[in-house]
Amino acid sequence: MIHMSGVSKVYGNGSVALSDISIDISKGDFIFVVGPSGAGKSTFIKLIFREELPSSGELVVNGRNITNMRPSEVPYLRRGLGIIFQDYRLLPDRTVYENVAFAMQVIEAPRREIQKRVNSVLDLVGLKDKYKCLPTQLSGGEQQRVAIARAIVNNPVVVIADEPTGNLDPETSWDIMKIFERINKAGTTIVMATHDKTIVDTMRKRVIAIEKGRIVRDQVKGVYGYED
Amino acid sequence: MRIRTIEYFIREAIVSLRSNGLMSFASISTVALSLLILGIFLILVLNLNNMASALESQVQITVYLKDDLSDHQMREVGTRITKLEGVNQVMFISKDEAMERFKGRLGEQQTLLTALGDTNPLPNAFEVKVDKPEKVKLTAQAISEFNGVENAKFGQEVIEQLFKITKMVRIFGVVLIVFLALAALFIISNTIRLTVFARRKEIGIMKYVGATDWFIRWPFLIEGMILGFGGALIAVFVLSRTYSAITQEIYSSLAFLPLIPQYPFMNNISIFILIAGTAIGALGSTISLKRFMKV
């Protein structure tokens, strides 16, 4: 599903964010990306949805070669990905329903299908009753669930999450993780950068540790491995 | 593209225009003002051109006759000229009359003529007017081949001078119009920049969920085009009202001024300004999108 070989990223100012990363992520994998702040986790995540381009090396996501991808192809790459951020990134002037439907509208899905899918994913994340609410009327956990609903509404093959529980209390974080697990059980690959030791140590998924731009550990049923 | 998508684009554009009300108003007004000045200048240039060609058509041919012709022969040449196609008017200027005119033109420097003594070197001549300016040259050539005609000159210098002036007016006009178009462009692109800025979060999300660049651009393009078209509409309204008032006034008081009639002239100007306004709007938002849409 995601294939990197010899991938490096050097930013314009000369700072090396990633060097010589090689990794294969298969369909249905659930992966935690861990490591100290500034180690390159975010860059790793951003490369996958082509927010950043690799400086060298080969990167294939969902059968698409990112290295030589034309900018006009990027939207079609992203339609196969669901992207979730720490800060939710919801549109404050639109309801829960509209925020989720938005992701389908902009790829010109038929109205009937939008209705069906949005109701179904809102049900999945447990927000069926709050579809009329504005994001400001929701708790942080609920907002993140809206963001998750929006990320999966187009049936992505990979969900990429950058610290999705970073702003949430432990209990709410667990609710969110249960949703991720459910999505993963349905066959969706999940790549999640996180700082949450408890979650990683409890769920025992594959763990990729990045330090100073290099993969220092790639562990099946791994643990967080850092003190908080 | 689906009809519903087009609806979505237009709705988004209008929502954005409304939420940016003051800025939208400011840019429509400025575009209106710019296009108004552009229109005034355009009308002026076209009318000047019109007047210039009207003057051109009044340029006459001067036919100089050989010195040894009898009155009868001279009259014969005159008759032949009159019979030429397109000739409107033929007037005889005797060498004495020519001398009088020349003296008049010299004014205080008439003493220069004392060197001539009693002799009059000026020839007898005909002044010929034709109905169409493009016939001047051919008619002059035909006449110059007549028996008894020394040569036939037409006011080539005058025409060239006129062309020069017209050209200068045109160049000045183009420079001014380019300048004003740039000003309108700048204002619209600035407004769209504000809209893009206000909606940068939305644009970011659209990009993350896989909206194509064109899908993101269209509402902003439409917004720019509405601003341009709106401004143009105001300019067109003011211009055609004003022009119709001016032409009516001039036709009744200064009938000799050859103004271009309101129809279809102002219709063409209006269509031109509406298209120009819309194009400027589209271009203005394109500039902003190119510069600011990188998320």
Q: How confident is the model at residue B138 (pLDDT cuts 50, 70, 90)?
A: confident
Query: In Å, what is the CA distance from B52 to each residue of A213, B56, B111, B153, B159?
Result: 76, 6, 37, 20, 9
Cβ-based contacts of A74 with chain B (< 8 Å): 207
Q: Which of B260, B247, B278, B243 is nearest to B40 (CA)?
A: B243
Q: Which of A188-202, B55-69, B263-277 has the lowest mean pLDDT?
A: B55-69
Q: Which of A174-183, B84-93, B112-121 has the lowest mean pLDDT?
A: B112-121
**pLDDT for the residue numbered B155:** 66
Q: Residue B91, Cβ neighbours under 10 Å: how many?
A: 11
Q: Which of B159-168, B189-198, B207-216 has the lowest mean pLDDT?
A: B159-168
Query: In Å, what is the CA distance from A108 to each residue of A112, A205, B3?
Result: 12, 36, 10
**pLDDT for the residue numbered B295:** 42
**pLDDT for the residue numbered A77:** 94
Rounded to 10 deg, the angle between the B200-208 and B156-198 helix axes is 80
Mean residue pLDDT across chain B: 83
The answer to whether A10 touches A206, Cβ cutoff 8 Å, is no
Token pair in block for residue A10 = 């050097």
Token pair in block for residue B148 = 């008894």
**pLDDT for the residue numbered B237:** 96
| Spans in chain A with pLDDT lower than 50 | none
For residue B55, pLDDT over 80 is answered with no
Question: Which residues, 6 or more positions from B276, have their beta carbon under 8 angstroms from its beta carbon?
Answer: B35, B38, B181, B232
Residue to mutate among B15, B202, B209, B290, with most A CBs inside 10 A, is B209
Question: Which residues, 6 or more positions from B70, have their beta carbon under 8 angstroms from its beta carbon?
Answer: none
**pLDDT for the residue numbered A168:** 93
Let me know if B3 is exposed, middle or buried by CB neighbors in 10 A (0-12, 13-18, 19+).
exposed
Q: Are B209 and A76 an interchain contact pair (Cβ–Cβ within 8 Å)?
A: no
Number of Cα atoms under 13 Å in the Cβ half of residue A156: 34
**pLDDT for the residue numbered B195:** 83
Q: Which residue has the higher pLDDT, B59 or B88?
A: B88
Alpha carbon of B2: minimum distance to chain A alpha carbons (Å): 8
**pLDDT for the residue numbered B62:** 85
Q: How confident is the model at residue B107 (pLDDT cuts 50, 70, 90)?
A: low
* pTM, entire model: 0.71
Distance CA A95, CA B254 (A): 67
As a whole number of Å, the end-to-end CA separation of chain A is 31
DSSP state of B111: G
DSSP state of B64: E
Nearest to B205 among A74, A75, A89 (CB): A89
**pLDDT for the residue numbered B294:** 64
H helices of B70-199, where? 71-83, 95-106, 136-144, 156-198
Q: Which of A161-170, A189-198, B97-106, B201-210 has the lowest mean pLDDT?
A: B97-106
**pLDDT for the residue numbered A207:** 96
Residue to mutate among A53, A106, A111, A150, with most B CBs inside 10 A, is A106
Sign of CA dihedral B128, B133, B134, B137: positive
Cβ-based contacts of A71 with chain B (< 8 Å): 213
Cβ-based contacts of A77 with chain B (< 8 Å): 210
Question: Which residues, 6 or more positions from A27, have their beta carbon under 8 angstroms from its beta carbon?
Answer: A1, A157, A187, A189
Q: Are B204 and A89 an interchain contact pair (Cβ–Cβ within 8 Å)?
A: yes
SS3 A1: coil
Distance CA B212, CA B214 (A): 5
Q: Which domains does chain A have, with CATH numbers?
A: 29-56+70-219 (3.40.50.300)
Cβ of B12 under 8 Å from any chain A Cβ?
Answer: no
Distance CA A50, CA A69 (A): 9
Q: Residue B101, Cβ neighbours under 10 Å: how many?
A: 12
For residue B30, pLDDT over 90 is answered with no
Question: Which residues, 6 or more positions from B277, have their beta carbon under 8 angstroms from its beta carbon?
Answer: B31, B35, B184, B228, B229, B230, B231, B232, B233, B235
Q: Which domains does chain B have, with CATH numbers?
A: 3-55+160-292 (no CATH), 60-154 (3.30.70.3040)
Distance CA A106, CA A129 (A): 24
The answer to whether B198 touches B20, Cβ cutoff 8 Å, is yes
The answer to whether B157 touches B86, Cβ cutoff 8 Å, is no
The answer to whether B225 touches B283, Cβ cutoff 8 Å, is no
Cβ of B254 under 8 Å from any chain A Cβ?
Answer: no
Q: Are B205 and A77 an interchain contact pair (Cβ–Cβ within 8 Å)?
A: no
Question: Among all chains, which residue has been given the structure tokens 């979505």?
Answer: B8
**pLDDT for the residue numbered A125:** 94
Rounded to 10 deg, the angle between the A170-185 and A111-124 helix axes is 130
Q: Are A108 and B2 an interchain contact pair (Cβ–Cβ within 8 Å)?
A: yes
- Max avg pLDDT among A32-41, B161-170, B254-263: A32-41
Token pair in block for residue A38 = 């500034």
Cβ of B211 under 8 Å from any chain A Cβ?
Answer: yes
H helices of A14-169, where? 41-48, 74-78, 96-105, 111-124, 140-152
Cβ-based contacts of B208 with chain A (< 8 Å): 49, 78, 83, 89
**What residues does B267 pair with on adjacent strands?**
none
Q: Are B4 and A106 an interchain contact pair (Cβ–Cβ within 8 Å)?
A: no
Q: How confident is the model at residue B156 (pLDDT cuts 50, 70, 90)?
A: low
For residue B161, pLDDT over 50 is answered with yes
Token pair in block for residue B278 = 């819309």
Give the nearest chain B residue to A148 (CA atoms): B209
Q: Are B209 and A91 an interchain contact pair (Cβ–Cβ within 8 Å)?
A: no
For residue B291, pLDDT over 90 is answered with no
Cβ of B151 under 8 Å from any chain A Cβ?
Answer: no
Q: How confident is the model at residue B108 (pLDDT cuts 50, 70, 90)?
A: low
Q: Are A106 and B213 an interchain contact pair (Cβ–Cβ within 8 Å)?
A: no
Alpha carbon of A201: minimum distance to chain B alpha carbons (Å): 30
**pLDDT for the residue numbered B48:** 75
